[in-house]
A = this chain, B = another copy of it.
Amino acid sequence: MQKSLSVYDSDGSTFAPLVVIELVSETKEEAIAWLLNRVRDKQQDGGAELLVEQLTPGAQGTEKDNPNVYVVGASWQRLLYGAEDVGLFKEFKDGSMRGFTYANKHNFKEFQGDGDGFLSMAECQYIIKHGLDNLRAKDEAHVPGYPKMKLYPGKSVIRRMQSKGILVQVFPLHEKEELKRLSFSWFKKIKLSFQPLDDIRHYFGEGMALYFGFLEYFTLALIPMALIGIPYYLFDWEDYDKFTVFAGFNLVWCTVILELWKRLSASLAYGWGTLSRKKAFEEPRPGFHGVLGVNPVTGRAEPLYSNAKRQLRIYLLSVPFVLLCLYLSLYVMMIYFDMEGWALMIHDEEPTFWTGLLLFIPSIIYAVVIEIMNLIYRYAAEFLTGWENHRLESTFQNHLVLKVLVFNFFNCFASLFYIAFVMQDMVLLRQSLATLLITSQILNQIMEAFLPYWLQRRRNKKAHKRMIKTMEDKELPLSEQVKLEADMSTYLGTFDDYLELFLLFGYVSLFSCVYPLAAVLVVLNNVTEVYSDAFKMCKVFKRPFSEPAANIGVWQLAFEAMSVIAVVTNCALIGMSPQVKSYFPESETQLILWVVGFEHFLLASKFILTFVIPDVPKHIQIKLSRLEFESLEALKKRSIKLKKKQVPSLNLKLNFFVVC
């Protein structure tokens, strides 16, 4: 319970600022007044019924500061009604999770008194964001003062102002006290422990908490592999005879951990109330454009864009572009092999310590080039997917993920596949894998945590200069805090973090039988990743809006696809091992048929396993069924009651023909 900062409303009452809206400094007065009125209007009148005030610049305010910064809050009633609107699930008195309703509020476990403290700040901010996003134009033809900024009934006002550039940003505020506590339990403590997932979820929302949960789970799941890998590395360095056992372990491991994660994630999501939450109807994404028409689902005016045109764009431009990029990546790979051969030649001619070192140079260069290509491609893919003009953010994301995954997979693993199956050179494979893994990890850590932190510090120093009077960090006035946070970088979502995990998962599941230390390296990387990610979330970035999520979405699929590829790859590696080959000394055909048969058996078992292991643990399944059953029963009772009212005596009306 923190009374923290507060602003005075126009009525003189105070409210806690939750969300900041920043408009460009030259926004016309009438547009601002109109927007604020719409935000303050009652919901019955089509407003958002929120509290909003201009941020009064602090004592240190300079002329350069943007005056058009507004803080938004809401009354507790508004927030509670909003919780019902967005379909928040909360813990009921009996311990089950139920959709919150205002009428039923006192039956929820943590509801006390007026209900202050019932919703977490992240939830409040999510509700406010939902309210702002759903602020729709009524009969305004355009934003007042901007005749070119067309509106039509039903268009989201905030989205239009954002896409036209008057609205710079909308972001939720950090909570100093809470953040300090979270940082301490998360990454400042030295002692080894699990991450405080519930607290993370409380502060950053479910989507983020699931990412960190997955990161932690993945790291723990790697530990047995790392433990097995160490003796392999220590004792059998050049004797890769025994790697069949390791490959077999790999196979089972990557199937089982993904299945178990599904169950764990369902448990987490149930506890957080997102498992059975219904998805709201999705609005068109901000960048979507088209001819104004009528949406066949909602019946609302909305831009429409022909699906055929989009398909044309995808197949005539995006697909060829991706193929071209793949070809380019192949070309770079070939250059790498040339360099590799050249370095080997020099080393063979006159082997010294320096030429020995030179052997690693091509791999390192290649690893750096791969990272750069991935980065450039990432931007190209984003541009291209935007240009494909998908209506929904979710389809946009799916197409983007697909593009990026295919390229990154190819870019990172093509050379390894080539070495393993075309050159069949296990020593080179091991060396390349090690160099790729280590280099890309170092690069990633720099790009992800160090660079943003350094940029942040430079900015902070500037800010600090401006406010010499205020004590360090302690009691910043609201206006200063808002300005500090407004300048922080924006966190762009978990995409890149998951992508990194996906590639690491690939290195481990595909080839770790050749280089057993891979798992150890990945575990080390993940441990630092937890800390650097936690640090960047708490210190480097603006607070992101919490995103309700029931699972890791399309990434589950991506990881599962990788695990299927891993089965095939590991079987092929097993088939190529001298140990297995020695069983079929006379006939290579026999060997291949056995390996293929074994692989088919494994793939079949994998699919059966996926099918047999229930995705949701039984005790949660029971709770969900109970809820569903209760709502069904309630419906029946209501209908019987209704019947009682409408037909007081049914017996009187028996005297008619029943006709089929």
Chain A interfacial positions (CB closer than 8 Å to B): 1-4, 6, 9, 11, 13-16, 42-44, 49, 51, 73-78, 81, 84-85, 101-103, 114, 116-117, 120-121, 124, 175, 178, 278, 280-281, 296-299, 568, 588-589, 592-593, 596, 600, 622, 625-626, 628-629, 632, 636, 639-640, 642-644, 646-647, 650-651, 653-660
A44 to chain B, nearest CB (A): 6
Q: Are B658 and A75 neighbours in the complex by a CB distance under 8 Å?
A: yes
A44-B640, A281-B625 known; 8 other A-B pairs, CB under 8 Å?
A3-B659, A13-B655, A14-B657, A75-B658, A76-B656, A81-B643, A103-B646, A299-B626
A568–B600 Cα gap in the complex (Å)? 9
Q: Do residues A42 and B650 form an inter-chain contact, with CB atoms below 8 A?
A: yes
Select which of B77, B299, B659 is within 8 A of A2 by beta carbon.
B659
> 3 tightest CB-CB pairs across the interface, nearest first?
A16-B658, A121-B660, A13-B655
Residues in B with CB closer than 8 Å to A75 are 650, 653-654, 656, 658
- Candidates B1, B85, B592; contact of A659 at CB < 8 Å: B1
| A650 with B9, Cβ < 8 A, contacts A2-B659, A592-B589, A600-B568 known | no
Contacts of A655 in B (CB 8 A): 11, 13
CB-defined contacts of A13 to chain B, threshold 8 Å: 654-656
Taking the closest CB of chain B, its distance from the CB of A77, in whole angstroms, is 6
Q: Is the CB of B629 within 8 A of A297?
A: yes
Across the interface, name the chain B residue whose C-beta is closest to A78: B650
9 residue pairs of the A-B complex, CB under 8 angstroms, read A43-B640, A85-B636, A85-B639, A114-B656, A116-B656, A281-B625, A589-B592, A592-B593, A596-B596
Contacts of A73 in B (CB 8 A): 658
Inside 8 A of A640's CB, which chain B residues have their CB?
43-44
CB of A44 within 8 A of CB of B642, answer no
Question: Taking A596-B596, A626-B297, A650-B75 as contacts, is the C-beta distance between A16 and B657 under 8 angstroms?
Answer: yes
Question: A626 contacts which chain B residues (CB < 8 A)?
Answer: 296-299
Closest-CB distance, A401 to chain B (whole angstroms): 14
Contacting residues, chain B, for A44 (C-beta < 8 A)? 640, 644
Q: How far is the CA of A654 from the CA of B592 in the complex (A)?
A: 77
Nearest-CB distance from A115 to chain B (Å)? 10
Question: CA of A588 to CA of B16 in the docked complex: distance in angstroms?
Answer: 77
Q: Which residues of B contact A51 (CB under 8 A)?
A: 654
Q: Given the complex of chains A and B, what is the CA–CA distance between A84 and B297 in angstroms?
A: 25
CB of A660 within 8 A of CB of B81, answer no
Chain B residue contacts of A644, Cβ below 8 A: 44
Distance between A529 CB and nearest chain B CB, rounded to angstroms = 30
For A618, give the chain B residue with the smallest CB separation. B307
Knowing A49-B650, A632-B280 are in contact, say whether A622-B297 is a contact too (CB < 8 A).
Answer: yes
Given known A175-B660, A568-B600, A592-B592, contact A102–B643 (CB-CB < 8 A): yes
A42 to chain B: which residues have CB within 8 Å? 650
